[in-house]
Structure 1
Amino acid sequence: MIHRDEFGAQVHALLEADRFRDYGPNGLQVEGRPEIRKLVSGVTASLALIEAAAREGADAILVHHGLFWRGQDGRVTGWMKRRLQVLLGHEINLYAYHLPLDAHPQWGNNAQLGLKLKLSVQGRFGEQDLGFLGVPAQPLTVAALSALLQYRLGRAPVVVEGDGRPIRRVAWCTGGAQGYFEAAIAAGADAFLTGEISEPQAHYARETGVAYFACGHHATERFGAAALGSHLAERFGLEHQFIDIDNPA
């Protein structure tokens, strides 16, 4: 058991949350009961996750995508009202960590994806050092890396093959990081892995020869919250459950 304020302070320090320029508030977003015994982790603070956590008797939810983002109009209506109604009605604390959970070298989304793919991390790149650089145990073909991604993530990636070179150096950044592709190319990557692809990236891949893999925003970000939740449960003596709400994005 741990008090919600102590829990928040410990997680904030562990993830070095204050050093990031982010798109919304990191930390406690909705205050619930004072003591935390059971923690549920998930990717996004959707109504489905919140209702599932309430059924499981959670005292706190830890997510990557919280409720509040820069540019929202702030009115508590519609979907926002329904999510907050369940959280407040069951006195569940909601903690959200966006970029800090992408970046953490051990428990973060990028670190955990690298572990799943058995990539040896050798450096970082991009704005706020969010992107990771690493190498596989041996060079991979585009087809082999695509098959590995499908096996680990449970879905086939969208692939732009580049020039078909052997993949010796991989750059990756989970979620909607298609804007990091040019920095990955400049960092000397043979392939770039992320969640999404926009129109320009297909042309960059064809023109530079660097392979591009769009593996799913949700699919690439399923591992950080689960790993962090397990770590925090062990550290503070909590019950923990990761709940994965499927998302095709």
Structure 2
Amino acid sequence: MTITFITGANKGLGRETTRRLVEAGHTVVLGARDQERGAAAAADLGVRFVPIDITDDTSVATAAADIERHEGTLDVLINNAGMLSPQEDPNSITGADAQRLFDVNLFGAIRTTSAFLPLLRRSPDPVIINVTSGLGSLALTHDPSRVESTVNAPLYCASKAALTMLTTQYAKALPGVRINAVDPGYTATDLNGHTGTQTVTEGTDAIVALATEAPGSPSGRVVDRAGELP
């Protein structure tokens, strides 16, 4: 049975991914920073809850130790937790603004990847999925036919561009682990005040596809629900 850990999974894309992967037969461990909300979501979905604050090294290490103690191994790590920047006006953003955002959207994925790699290496088919965004694509944000080109969010876009590059570099450096990034698309979640044009189920299509694809599938890709992205 495939054992999957998802960060930021008490709501939105993470919660729906949990629900769908349980239906697909995965043993899912739901990770979330908020203990009350995380425990409630896990109870609703019938999965185990492990608290994790991806901005805190000790919390991440404790979560990894918890999964080692209970599950003993890990097959799929989904780095889903993310945030928007509260300040995106280029006239007034600061280094501190950037540091807070990157601490979640980039450094958090680095922390979890490093902490969970030993458990993933025990799997015959280890998988890491980083939830990025088309807003981190140089190609898409410069394509006038794409909605991404209409958005001006310097810090968020930069953080997701960095996460995408991190994914492709990890894929080169860790050939024994299948590592890909996924763009959910403009999905209605709390992150955007439910203004997205996709349902949360549509937004998880690509995440679920990567989590359930066959062993030996390619690494180092960026995909959305329609296929591979530039």
Q: TM-score range by the shorter chain?
A: under 0.3
In the superposition, the TM-score normalised over structure 2's length comes to 0.26
Instruction: Give the greater-gyration-radius structure (CA).
Output: 1
Q: Which structure shows the bigger proportion of residues in helix conformation? A: 2
